[in-house]
A and B are shown apart, each in its own frame.
Chain A
Amino acid sequence: MSQCEFLEESIGRWLDGELPPAESEAVRRHVASCADCGAVCQRLEKIQLTLGTLLAAEAARLEFAPFWLEVQHRIEAKRPWHVEPIEAVQSLFSVPRLAWLVPAAIILVLGFLSLAKWPTGVEVNNYASVESIDAHGRNVALLREDETKTTIIWLYQDPEGEDENVEETAKSGPAF
């Protein structure tokens, strides 16, 4: 890339006074010595001037009094009762706002899934799944209590004295 091509992007910023001083000085020197870049500067300035003149000329034709009168009419006009709610709803569903609704919808979906996934309060699904169980030869009962959604593992100890060193042996299981 030649220096001119490299500097082309900087010329606009230089004309706009948006370049840091050191860079600005380098562009100024180059533009002063390079006919092509000097011409670019002139073209950019002419575009700016022409557009500014066009718009300013149109704006100059605009008189304040009738302009303000119309604004005032709008301010004072009693709008039908339904206009403001309709505008509020329309603005809610305007395209830019709908774009923001995307993450909002994701939040809602995640929130909904969270409710199902992370139990809270009385709706807790407290059931546990028992994947393996080894009672080393003893009887064992696996129970699910529906009211509190609780899983209960009940171990029936061997009544034949295997656990003789245990103080006492449960004679029976719970009466579910």
Chain B
Amino acid sequence: MSKKLRNPVLLFNLFFLAVTGWLHAADKTPQSVKVTVVSILAGSTGDGFDPKLKGLEQQLRPLKHHSYRSLKDETQTIPWQGNKTFEIPGGRSLTITTQEFQNNRIGLKIHLTQGEKPLIDTTVKIANKGNIILGGPAHEGGSLVLSISAAAQ
């Protein structure tokens, strides 16, 4: 290599490695997680798809219900390893705790209750900016379906 260029190149490479290292480190420790919970009523009668749920249509169709209606859409920012509670229709509440961030996947602890009664406790890892569907509880003649999505910030 031309010696006159060796030092700037070396410096640039070191700087570049430092920056990528820093970015990599930053990737591992997001400040918070933006969690969105969409509450959906999946009905066994009627026919119709709520236009508000357009982004979820493909994911909901396989549930083979006749209709899908958006009941509530709530977004909260949860600090890293903190938790927030979402009010879910039917006197239910969903508490989400952020746990870990690895390989661009977010670990979430999900706790769904009906009043005081726990319905389900689960720990999942979902893709950053991805979602998981949690459904089943009966609601207004149909089933309550929750789409829980998370994005690291």
* Chain A residues engaging chain B, CB cutoff 8 angstroms: 95-96, 98-100, 102-103, 106, 110, 117-119, 124-136, 138, 140, 145, 147-148, 150-157, 163, 165-170, 173-176
Contacts and interface: CB of A to CB of B under 8 A. Distances in A.
Interface of B: 1-2, 5-6, 9, 12-13, 16-17, 20, 42, 58-59, 62-65, 90, 103-105, 107, 114-115, 117-141, 143
Contacts of B104: 117-118
A150 B63 contact: no
B135 A155 contact: yes
Given A117-B103, A145-B62, A167-B140, A154 B122 contact: no
A150 B137 contact: no
A88 to B, nearest CB: 18
Given A125-B127, A127-B127, A166-B90, A152 B2 contact: no
Closest 10 CB pairs of A and B: A155-B136, A128-B126, A170-B138, A126-B130, A174-B63, A175-B64, A128-B132, A99-B9, A133-B122, A103-B16
A140 B125 contact: no
A61 B13 CA distance: 45
Nearest to A176: B62
Contacts of A135: 119-120
B133 A132 contact: no
Contact of A136 (B63, B103, B118, B138): B118
Contacts of B125: 128-129, 131
A167 B138 contact: yes
A153 B127 contact: no
Nearest to B112: A155
B105 to A, nearest CB: 8
B59 A148 contact: yes
B120 A155 contact: yes
Given A128-B130, A150-B59, A153-B134, 15 more contacts: A99-B6, A100-B12, A110-B20, A126-B130, A128-B127, A131-B107, A131-B123, A131-B124, A131-B125, A140-B136, A153-B135, A163-B117, A174-B42, A174-B135, A175-B64
A168 B140 contact: yes
Contacts of B64: 174-176
A170 B90 CA distance: 14
B81 to A, nearest CB: 16
A74 to B, nearest CB: 24
A166 B138 contact: yes
B124 A129 contact: yes
A99 B1 contact: yes
A36 to B, nearest CB: 33
Nearest to A104: B16
Most buried by A among B104, B124, B136, B143: B136
A135 B128 CA distance: 25
A96 B1 contact: yes
A140 B120 contact: yes
Contacts of B123: 130-133
